[in-house]
Amino acid sequence: MNHAMVVVSGTKIADEIGTSRSEVWRLVQQLRTLGVEVAGHPATGYRLKAVPDLLLPDMLTPLLKSTIFSQNIHHYYKIGSTNSEAMEAAGAGAPDGSVFLAEQQTVGRGRGAHPWHSAHAAGIYCSVLLRPPLPPSEALILSLAAGLAVHAAVQEIDSRIAPDLKWPNDVLLDGKKFCGILVEMNAEVTRVRYIVVGIGINANQSSFPAELQPTATSLRLATGSEWSRVELCAALLKSLDREYRNLLEKPGAHESILRRFAERSSSVRGRQVRVEENGSFEGVTEGLDPRGFLQVRTAQGVRTVLSGTVRLR
């Protein structure tokens, strides 16, 4: 990583990974199809034309020192869903803080069984596995904290933009969604066994399928410039690490999450919404209750939104 763009002979690479020069050539060709720009051929040796913006453990680990996420980073060029992978690994005993990252998902999943558009190398598709000593009722707070972590990571990289949080955990720019969060868990009634926080960020998409165009955006579309996914992903995991540790260790962290979420959301209070939950109802948002659920004032009184989709009017 320190000399990523020097020329390395095919023989040296072959020796280092214990294979033949022809196999190195085949692997280099495969890397090229995956978008890694490699100059050269077997006779001259190989050289990276640029350090690729791939979410590789070797790139991220040095940036995540002293966080719970530095030890077990798993990277996939193509996978069904990082959340499914993380849930399966959790069931098989993977440790707290394991991270699952993909360049592309073939069946990325959103809340309420919606698909999550996961184009190759354009977004961040990230799931982290946590084993918090918390009751299941605290899972919602953790999910709100993940939205705050995305907000902080984006602002750390470009302080000029101000993302808007939409309950429970969409993150918007210019009224369009660039990030969604899917939190899944396995729990006893009083104790969480494990939680998977799945975060999808549209980073460098330059367009979306027609059906998503009215509601989706990317950081690149919103800011006009390309984002380093490695830098953003590292900022995100560092910020998630801070939120998670505070929640477990600091008195008052729960209340702080509720307060900061409300401060960074234009819709959590005083906004006309339609809620789709067991049918649908309309009303005006009235903040979060102490557990983090959205309160909506309707003609019949205040209702608490537990899991529905909230549409802004």
Q: How far is the CB of 270 from ligand BTN (least distance, A)?
A: 23
Give the tokens for residue 92: 């098989």
Q: How far is the CB of 266 from ligand BTN (least distance, A)?
A: 18
Say whether residue 143 binds ligand BTN (CB under 6 A). Answer: no
Query: 244 Cβ partners below 8 Å, 6+ apart?
Result: 68, 130, 132, 142, 145
Among 70, 72, 127, 202, binds ligand BTN (CB under 6 A): 127
Query: 311 Cβ partners below 8 Å, 6+ apart?
Result: 273, 274, 275, 276
Q: How far is the CB of 151 from ligand BTN (least distance, A)?
A: 15
Say whether residue 267 binds ligand BTN (CB under 6 A). Answer: no
Per-residue interface string for the shown chain with ligand BTN, residues 84-123, x marking contact by CB under 6 A: ---------------------x--xxxx--x-x-------
Say whether residue 69 binds ligand BTN (CB under 6 A). Answer: no
Say whether residue 145 binds ligand BTN (CB under 6 A). Answer: no
Amino acid at 56: L
CA distance 42 to 143: 49
Say whether residue 202 binds ligand BTN (CB under 6 A). Answer: no
Strands (DSSP E) contained in the chain are 38-41, 45-48, 73-76, 99-102, 123-130, 164-166, 170-173, 176-187, 192-202, 269-276, 280-288, 294-298, 301-305, 309-312
Q: Which is nearer to ligand BTN, 105 or 239 (CB)?
A: 105
Say whether residue 181 binds ligand BTN (CB under 6 A). Answer: yes
Which among 140, 249, 120, 250 has a CA at the least distance from the CA of 192?
Answer: 140
Q: Site for ligand BTN (CB under 6 A): how many residues?
A: 20
Amino acid at 296: V
Residues of this chain that interact with ligand BTN (CB under 6 A) are 81-83, 105, 108-111, 114, 116, 125-127, 170, 180-182, 198-200
